[in-house]
Amino acid sequence: MTQSDTPSMDPTLDPSLRSWVESANQPGTDFPIQNLPYGVFAASDGTNHIGVAIGDMVLDLHHAINDLALQDLPPEISSALCGSTLNNFMGLGSRFWRTARRSISSLLSEGADPHPHLLVPRESCSMRMPVVIGDYTDFYASRNHATNVGRMFRPDGDPLLPNYLNLPVGYHGRSSTIIVSGTDVHRPSGQLKPDDGPPVFGPCRLLDYEMEFGMFVGSANPMGHRIPMSEAMDHVFGIVILNDWSARDIQKWEYQPLGPFNAKNFATSVSPWIVTMDALSPYRLAGPDREPGDPEMLDYLKPVTDDVLDVNCEVHISSHAMREQNLPPMRISRGSLSDLTWTFTQMLAHHTSTGCAMNPGDLLGSGTISGTEKDSRGCLLELTWRGTEPIELPDGTQRKFLQDGDELTMTAYCERDGAARIGLGSCTGTIRPII
């Protein structure tokens, strides 16, 4: 981590900093003043406003700027933050992001003049997609996940394909079906291949979730100009929780030779609050780790800053029957973004190594995050080992894969000594029958 990235050099990360918004000072809150994530919500006049989460409230930046509470901002920042999406603001670049963060932190800090009229209760906000996503690429960056899947489907061979440890493997997803947390997911139909007969068309039977994170690209690179590792972090705006819903039976039949297609294009859920890289800087680590015998990494992928993000994540399931019986959701998995074999900066450097142009708001998914323990496996395919080890739910039923009425909730947070605990909120989706 460079000196300019050191948390002690940034007053907005001071763990002793407090806000005049009292809920932001409560232990365990996801959104203390050291976080300040961005999102977009439906304002009372029906338009979409950019907001910042603070405790259990949301600071309406449109009103804060028009009210002159943030009058020290440069005009390009003020204009961008009065928009209906974050794309223009993200495109301004890291210097402008930090200027805005420090002004917002000063406005919300204890000792500043309170402006409660600029706040909206977070629970009353109808959240929107925070950005217009032009392109979406999902990666396959967890060695543990790739190894588990490889052992299931290639038990007699090397679980990892020859290229896996040499480059970040990914596929281009479908941005049109990325949805914000809370949006229902309808069970997809598709072409299925029974073991003992010809293919048929019908509803997915092996519906799964994937515990992931998503990274939003900030400033663009022109077509033909790659982003080197030394500059990659300056192009990263922030991260969200991501659930890449997956139709495993559709995927099994279609994926060769070009990889996922309809099995992945029907829905991808993201959490509504983008936690910025500035807020995450206390949780950056060196790495990622390589194991003895791994091939030497090519120079264009070698880390030059601390790019591993130490973010914890959990997955909870609640069946329709559990909710009817007032049973709490059951945690089925936990993991860490630090378990990835390839970082978001390496994904970005590799993605643009051909000169591929990235634009503000483009989304890169991490791929399923799995650890070394069974309870750290990031999808039902792994947790139940292709359905051979079902999960027992508190309502007396079992799960090999998701059933209609199941609600999945993913949460994420960061904590370490000497820094304020911050969270990413939650990403929730409920499975509904096919339309």
Phi and psi torsions of 80, nearest 5°: -65, -40
Residue with tokens 């994926």: 255
CA angle 260, 320, 325 (to 5 degrees): 150
Q: With b meaning 16 or more CB within 10 Å and e meaning fewer, what string describes 240-257?
A: bbbbbbbbbbbbeebeee
Q: How far is CA 310 from CA 115, 126, 239, 282, 338, in A?
A: 34, 29, 12, 9, 5
- The count of residues in the chain is 435
Catalytic one among 62, 145, 350, 351?
A: 145
CA torsion, ordered 419, 14, 242, 224, to nearest 10 deg = -120
Strands (E), 100-254: 119-121, 127-128, 136-139, 170-172, 178-180, 185-186, 189-192, 200-203, 207-208, 211-217, 236-243, 246-247
| Interatomic CA distance for residues 213 and 211, integer angstroms | 7
| Interatomic CA distance for residues 103 and 116, integer angstroms | 17
Cβ–Cβ < 8 Å for 266, 245:
yes
Which helix or strand (DSSP H or E) is residue 248 part of?
Answer: helix 248-254
Residue 374 tokens read as: 């069974």
Q: Which of 246, 258, 245 is nearest to 410 (CA)?
A: 245
Q: With b meaning 16 or more CB within 10 Å and e meaning fewer, what string describes 416-433?
A: eeebbbbbbbbbbbbbee
- Catalytic (active site) residue 145: yes
Residue with tokens 């003992």: 196
Q: Counting beta carbons within 10 angstroms of the beta carbon of residue 295, is it exposed (0 to 12), middle (13 to 18) or buried (19 or more)?
A: exposed
Q: Which of 143, 131, 90 is nearest to 343 (CA)?
A: 143
CA atoms within 13 A on the CB side of 290: 13
Among all residues, which ones are annotated catalytic? Answer: 145
